[in-house]
Structure 1
Amino acid sequence: MVVTTGFFPDDAKFELLGDAMKKSQITYELFSVALLILDKEDRLSIVIKPADAEKRTDATLSISVPDSVPFLTEAEAVSHVLNRHLDKFFDTVEVETEAPKGSFLMVARCKRTGAILGSPTHHSYQKTLRDHHARTCPNAPFDRFKADLEMVREPEAIEAWKKSMSTRTEYAPKDRQEGEPERLESMDAARGFLLAFRREATVISRNQVRFPGRLLAEMPPGPLRDCVRYALDRQRDFPLDTANGIRGRLRKEGFHLYKKGSKGITYACGVRRKCRDPKSSFSDAMQKIFDCLDKTSGIQGKDVTLAVAGETADDAAKARVLADLNFLIGEGYIAKLHDSRLFAQPVLSTQAQAKEEAANEDATEEK
């Protein structure tokens, strides 16, 4: 593992999701809320730290400034900027040069991109390889990239390379300031220019990086992306860390969390739970609803209505039961789950409920 990873809700998406959850008055299992957030990457805010951050206070990650994509190293981030955002910093100029002279038996071709990179016997070969590697696959070890090159002996390919070498791309810095070079003759020179004169607009380093989950799809293949995706898959299988991580955010958004039993499932709802104090009293119609759910917890609202109103009751009688049921749900005496199952909150004194709620404030989910 190259980084430690945490998953949290994206602010804007969670605000919309939270509003919908509150309006529904539905009670959700905390794990279900976590899975709802983890289900879509654009609902996530991802936090990563170097795996050895606790041992090394100077351990950092790098960020491509133009698009906020994170990287393990500064070199990778700069290569990404050159590959994806070159036009933000440079105008490219094609300059005519003298084509290579002599006899060349073969040229190297990149299997990944199909680009002809030149003859191994030409003086520019190593530099061309370095530039191409930096632009197209900076996360791959250079030796592996070089070993994967294909040597092509067809005369047509050799002549095409010679023709391509009759021009050279140079880079003219945009918004050039006094003392800065007018032209840069290579990608390596462009890289050096960015680090010397445009560093703050190119790359920054942080001990911890938070980035939107939507950027996960834009991260180049490599150990960092693999590590984050592995952590995401594990949380989708069992979202313990994410569930604990969103507790504070749910409370901040006005949700109330509680356990059903001291070791039971944790629930979250926009309606504050109310237990039935032994001293409290309800109308006969509402008490019948409680009696029904105390006898058979987890049944649907329609079943409660039929049980309380009776099979032969008219629509008006059923509507009155349903109105009482919705009132008790809205007041927090009855919880309605996402699958429409209902359960009544227990009989508990006000003091005992307050003590239980205080314990829930500091509780976390356990394996």
Structure 2
Amino acid sequence: MIPEEKGVALLAKRIRLQGRAYPLFDIARLITQSLDRFRVRVSTVQPNGTDVPQALWVCRNDQTLWLTEAEAIDHALSKHLDQYYLSEKTKTDPPKGNFSFVAQCGLSGVLLGPPNYHGYQTKLKELHADRYARMHFDRFKSNVKIVHDEEVVAKWLEEQSWTTEYTDKANPEAGKLHSIEEVQEHFKQHHMAGAVEEVRHAEVSGDFQKQASRPMRDLV
């Protein structure tokens, strides 16, 4: 933890105006009382028995910290997709088969589809990353409920009657990407180097809860 220059300057001005001396520990307490008065410096260590230090990954779009490359990529795409890709919805045929129930997120009301449907797990993970990343995944998953209701099933089928295609903003002539999985692979090949960076040291604002992934926050 290190003082933030601007925040500490305002604190120093306040102390001078009061015209009194503060013990060192009181000054430290004043600094940590406000998130704009300090920054958090994070450094990796080399695990025992290995030659390679633990890596950190930074999403350059918002300077958030992640413990794995995959987490950083998922975050970049869930929060900053529109910086790299144009999305367009088009009408398509609904899923074939007889569906008598669907899973629904009890927190948001979002319909996830039947648990055995091929896109279910992807939809579940995307919803968690987009809206509830601060919540442990198992806890989030426990809020999913199964709904046996014809109107709800019909609503899900209507939602599935639309598909989203993506176009790379940097190279719109390259052709369309037809799924989020294709976008992920394309992103790794063409955009990851500029969006996600592997580091050994990083500094973030005092609001560590907002700039660090949940697994990292759990370590602090």
TM-score using structure 2 length: 0.84
The residue number in structure 2 matching 1:33 is 27
Q: CA deviation at 1:172?
A: 1.4
Counterpart AA for 1:9: P
* 1:163-312 paired onto structure 2 within 5 Å: 163-176=158-171, 181-214=174-207, 216-219=208-211, 222-228=214-220
Q: Shift of residue 14 of structure 1? A: 1.7
* CA offset digits 1:26-62 (Å, max 9, x no partner): 3221111111110011211101234x53645421111
User: How many angstroms does 1:224 deviate by?
Assistant: 2.0
Distance 1:32 1:223, change over 3 A: same
Question: How many residue pairs align between the two structures?
Answer: 218
The SS at the match of 1:63 is strand
* Shift in Å, 1:129: 3.5
- Matched with 2:111 is 116
- Change beyond 3 A, Cα 1:170–1:220: farther
Match of 1:93 in 2: 88
Indicate the larger mover: 38-47 or 103-112. 103-112
2:39/2:205 contact within 8 Å kept: yes
Q: After the TM superposition, which residues 102-113 of structure 1 pair with which residues of structure 2 at under 5 Å, given as runs?
A: 102-113=97-108
Tell me if structure 2 keeps the 8 A contact 1:45–1:213. yes
Are residues 187 and 132 of structure 1, via their aligned partners in 2, closer, same or farther at CA, if it must alter by over 3 Å?
farther
Aligned residues with identical type, % of pairs = 29
Q: Aligned partner of 2:40: which letter?
A: I
Q: How far apart in 1 are the matches of 2:56 and 2:163?
A: 34
Deviations 1:331-366 (A, max 9, x none): xxxxxxxxxxxxxxxxxxxxxxxxxxxxxxxxxxxx
Tell me the equivalent position of 1:9: 3
Q: 1:141 to 1:188 in 2, by over 3 A?
A: farther
Q: Tell which structure's C-alpha radius of gyration is larger.
A: 1
Cα deviation code 1:60-111 (max 9, x no counterpart) = 1111111101122222222222222121111110021101233111111123
SS of the aligned residue for 1:113 comes to coil
* Cα-Cα RMSD: 2.7
Q: Name stretches of at least 5 consecutive residues in structure 2 with no aligned partner.
A: none
Tell me: CA distance 1:143–1:106, structure 2 relative to 1, closer, same or farther (3 Å). Answer: same
* Separation (CA, whole Å) in 2 of partners of 1:86 and 1:30: 46
